[in-house]
Amino acid sequence: MLSTLLLSLAGCASLPAPDSYAKPVSHTITDTGDTRLARLSAQWQAPDSDGLSGFIPLAEGMRAFVARVGLIRAAERSLDVQYYIWHDDTSGQLLAGELLRAADRGVRVRLLLDDLDTAGKDTFLSQFDTHPNIEVRVYNPFAYRGNRGLGFASDLSRLNHRMHNKSLTADNLLTVVGGRNIGNEYFNAQAHTAFSDLDVLAIGPVVGAVSAMFDQYWNSDVVYPMAAFAREDDIDAERLPAAREAFEAVARTAMGSDYVRAIQASPWLEQLQLDQLQFVWGAATVIFDDPNKPLNREVNAETHLAPQLVPMLQGATREVLIVSPYFVPGDALVGFLADLEQRDIDVRILTNSLAANDVGLVHAGYMRYRKALLEAGVALFEFKPEPGEQERNKRWTGSSAASLHAKTLGADAEHLFVGSFNLDPRSVALNTEMGIIIDNASLAAQMREAFERVVAQNAYAVVLDDDGDLRWLDPALPGSEPLAHEPKTSWWQRFVVGTLSFIVPESML
C-alpha cells in the first residue's frame, strides 16, 4: 500500500509551467581576446596550424583533474560546464569550490547537469545558483524531486533519456572533452577502484564548436533552470551565508585530503600554470546529438551522433580500433564490422570483462554477440578487473580494482574519436552524447600504442577453440592454459548474467 501511495504521488508530480520561472536565453562570451588564456593560446599556436585545432591527451586521472582545475583558475570571463555525473566527494567538492571562487572574481559560470545525478542535491544546487555569477540548469528533469526510482516508474518513456555529454570550456578558448564525469573514481582519487579513461584538452576552432553545442543545450526546451525547483527555505537570504560557510568548510577539508597532497607531490601541479603545454595539431569536427533527441526517435545524421561516426570507420583502409566500456553492437554493427573484415581491414575491440564491468546488465547484452564477432574475424579483448603492475605503481592509491571507461575509436592510425559515446543501444538511440573526430597521425598513433599496451598486459584475448567454444587467453602469461569461463568471476555471477542475456530487452541497455 505504501509503495502504491508513493508511486501515485510521483505520478501526480508535474514539471513547472514555463510562465512560473525565468529562463533567459544566453550565449557564449566571445569577447575574450584580451585574457591570459588568449595570450597563452597565441604562444601555443604552431607556425603551420592556421585553421587547425590543438590537442593534448589526458589519459592519467590525476593529470585530467589538474587540467580542469587549471582551466577554472585561468578563466577570466566565462566557464561553461556540462556533465552527466558530478559526485559529492573529494574531487567534486574541490571543483565546485573552484567554480565558486571563479564566480567570486567575476567569471560567469553556466553549469548544466543531467538531472539523474542530482538526487539529494537540490538544496546545494539551488544555493549555488543564487550566486549572481552562477546559473545552474538541469537536463530533462524529474518532476518528482524525491526518489529517482519512483520518478522513473511514473514517467519512464521521458526520463529514460539522459544527457551523457561531458565538457568544460574556459573563456571560449580552451576546453576539456572526453569520457570522464566528475568523481573520485574518474581521477584516481579513491582506493578501491579506478576507471581507465581518456579526455583531450583542446584549443583552436574546435573550442568554438563545443561552445556552440553548449549554447544549443543550454537554451533548449528540455533544459530547466534550477531556480524552477528551488524551495523558499533553500534560497532564504538569511540562510545563504551560513550555507556558504558550511560548503567552504567542506572544501577546506577536501583541500587537506590525501589526494591533494598526492597532487602537490606530482609533476602535474606545475601544469596548473598552463605555460608548459605542447599541443599537437589537426583538423577536428565536433559531433553531438541534438538536445531534443528524446523527442525524435528516428536515428539520422541531422539529430544523432552515431551516423556521423560511420564515414570515419567506413573510410578505413587498414585498421579500425574500438574502445568502448559498454559494448552492445547489435546485428547491424556486427554486420558492418564483418564487412570491414571482408575488405581485409583489421578490426580490434577492447571492452570490459564481466569482472571489470561496473554495469553487469550491459555485459548480458554484449555476450550475445561475441561468437558472431569472432566468427567474422574481429579480434576481441576484455579489460582485466585489476590494474597491471605498471599502472598499480603509478597510482598513489594502490587501487585494487580497475574498470575501462574510455570511449575512443581509431582508423588507420590517422583518425581518432574521443568523447562520451559508447557503442550500445542507449548511446545510439536514448541518451545524448558528444565527442570530437580528430585528424592527426601522431595522436592516433598514441591511441594505437596505448591500445597495444593494454591488450598485451591488462586484457584477456577472447577466442574460439576448435569446437567453436569461447576461451579466454592471458597475453601477459604466455603458455598459460585457456580459461573456459569468464575470468575472475563466480558461478553465480555467470549464472545471473547468462540468464539476463536471454530476457533483457536490448533497447534498454
| pLDDT range class, residue 12, cuts 50, 70, 90 | low
- Out of 80, 89, 161, 164, the active site residue is 164
pTM score, whole prediction: 0.93
444: nearest Cα among 414, 409, 418: 414
- Which residue type occupies 205? P
- Out of 115, 129, 197, 412, the active site residue is 412
Q: Give the residue, 437 or 190, on which the prediction is more confident.
A: 437
Candidate CATH numbers 3.40.50.620, 2.40.128.630, 3.30.870.10, 3.40.50.10240; the one for domain 289-508? 3.30.870.10
Q: What number of CA atoms fall less than 13 Å from residue 374's CA on the CB side?
A: 19
pLDDT at 393: 38
Q: What average pLDDT does the chain have?
A: 90
Distance CA 203, CA 111 (A): 21
CB 396 within 8 A of CB 194: no
β-bridge mates for residue 350, sequence order? 323, 381
| pLDDT range class, residue 155, cuts 50, 70, 90 | confident
Strands 134-139 and 223-225: antiparallel
Distance CA 235, CA 105 (A): 22
Q: Identify the architecture of domain 48-273 in CATH.
A: 2-Layer Sandwich (3.30)
Residue found by looking up cell 572526453 in the block: 178
* Model confidence at 317: pLDDT above 80: yes
Distance CA 247, CA 99 (A): 12
Q: What does the block give as the cell for 253?
A: 577539508
pLDDT at 397: 44
- Mean of the pLDDT values across residues 426-434? 94
pLDDT at 396: 42
Lowest-confidence pick of 8-17, 154-163, 301-310, 396-405: 396-405
* Model confidence at 509: pLDDT above 70: no
pLDDT at 1: 58
- Mean of the pLDDT values across residues 16-30? 93
Strands (E) located in 115-166: 134-139
What contacts 282, CB < 8 A, 6 or more positions away? Answer: 52, 53, 55, 438, 439, 440, 443
β-bridge mates for residue 409, sequence order? 322, 417
What contacts 136, CB < 8 A, 6 or more positions away? Answer: 111, 112, 113, 125, 126, 128, 129, 225, 226
Does 469 participate in catalysis according to the annotation? no
CB 433 within 8 A of CB 288: yes
Q: Give the residue, 13 or 411, on which the prediction is more confident.
A: 411
Lowest-confidence pick of 156-165, 225-234, 384-393, 407-416: 384-393
* Model confidence at 284: pLDDT above 80: yes
Lowest-confidence pick of 23-32, 88-97, 108-117, 139-148: 139-148
* Model confidence at 68: pLDDT above 90: yes
Lowest-confidence pick of 186-190, 227-231, 271-275, 498-502: 271-275
pLDDT at 301: 76
Question: Per-residue DSSP letters for 62-78?
Answer: HHHHHHHHHHHHH-SSE
- How does pLDDT run across 300-312, given as a tens digit for each residue? 778 899 999 999 9
Does 89 participate in catalysis according to the annotation? no
pLDDT at 211: 98
Does 166 participate in catalysis according to the annotation? yes
pLDDT at 389: 47
- Mean of the pLDDT values across residues 205-230? 97
- Out of 293, 384, 407, 415, the active site residue is 407
pLDDT at 462: 98
Q: Dihedral of CA 294/295/298/299: which sign?
A: negative
CA 454-458-462 angle, 5° bins: 95
Distance CA 369, CA 216 (A): 36
- Out of 114, 155, 166, 293, the active site residue is 166
**CATH 3.30.870.10 domain residues, the chain:** 48-273, 289-508
* Model confidence at 190: pLDDT above 80: no
Distance CA 385, CA 68 (A): 27
Q: In b/e form, how buried is each residue of 128-148, taking b as 16+ CB within 10 angstroms?
A: bbbbebbbbbbbbbbbbbeeb
CA 97-98-99 angle, 5° bins: 90
| pLDDT range class, residue 154, cuts 50, 70, 90 | confident
pLDDT at 323: 97
- How does pLDDT run across 482-494, given as a tens digit for each residue? 999 999 999 999 9
* Model confidence at 14: pLDDT above 90: no
Question: Per-residue DSSP letters for 375-389?
Answer: HTT-EEEEE-SS--H
Lowest-confidence pick of 90-99, 124-133, 261-270, 404-413: 261-270
- How does pLDDT run across 364-403, given as a tens digit for each residue? 999 999 999 999 999 999 999 986 544 443 444 444 578 8
pLDDT at 391: 46
pLDDT at 30: 97
- Out of 117, 122, 129, 171, the active site residue is 171
> What percent of the chain has a predicted confidence (pLDDT) above 70?
92
- Out of 293, 363, 405, 415, the active site residue is 405
- Mean of the pLDDT values across residues 460-465? 97
CB 30 within 8 A of CB 24: no
Does 171 participate in catalysis according to the annotation? yes
* Model confidence at 45: pLDDT above 70: yes
Q: Give the residue, 297 or 168, on which the prediction is more confident.
A: 168
* Model confidence at 413: pLDDT above 90: yes
| pLDDT range class, residue 292, cuts 50, 70, 90 | very high
Lowest-confidence pick of 155-159, 343-347, 459-463: 155-159
Q: Give the residue, 419 or 273, on which the prediction is more confident.
A: 419
Distance CA 100, CA 247 (A): 10
Please provide the distance, in angstroms rounded to a whole number, between the alpha carbons at the two ends of the chain: 31
pLDDT at 148: 84
